[in-house]
Amino acid sequence: MISLMSRLAKALEPPVITRPRVWFAYAVAVTTDVVQIALGPFGWFWVDEVLDVVAMVAISRAIGFHAVLLPTFALEFLPFTDFLPTWTGAVALVLGLRRRRGFVHPPPPASGEVIDI
């Protein structure tokens, strides 16, 4: 039981936020928002839902899961909210909160011997 809980806690722990992860998360968010706006009323079918699921998974893998992403995911199922840049706003909010709390770390040191004091 403890092993399962420790694995779950480790899975939900945010990854080291690096510049490429931030760029990837923003790219996924902006692309999803632009495609949903471009689809307009034709996006009410299964395409919008698939885009939202892909965006949620990709952004969570890039910058880690955060509770802010859940309302964004749920909000996308309401009519006319696809015309708002909700994914881009959610990524900006999550990264801002993580920066404020100190979860954004510099990249790990280059390969070689690490001396820990």
- Is there a contact between 61 and 21 (Cβ–Cβ < 8 Å)? no
Q: Among residues 113, 70, 114, which one has the least CA distance to residue 93?
A: 70
- 52 in a domain, yes or no? yes
Give the number of domains in the chain. 1
User: Looking at residue 116, what is its pLDDT?
Assistant: 61
User: Looking at residue 23, what is its pLDDT?
Assistant: 95
Report how far residue 69's alpha carbon sits from residue 24's, in angstroms, rounded to the nearest whole number. 16
Domain of residue 49: give its range: 15-101
- 24 in a domain, yes or no? yes
- 9 in a domain, yes or no? no
User: Looking at residue 20, what is its pLDDT?
Assistant: 92
Would you give per-residue pLDDT tens digits along the chain (117 residues)? 667 777 777 766 778 888 899 999 999 999 999 998 888 766 566 788 888 899 999 999 999 888 888 888 788 777 777 778 899 999 999 999 888 876 555 555 566 666 666
- 117 in a domain, yes or no? no
- 68 in a domain, yes or no? yes
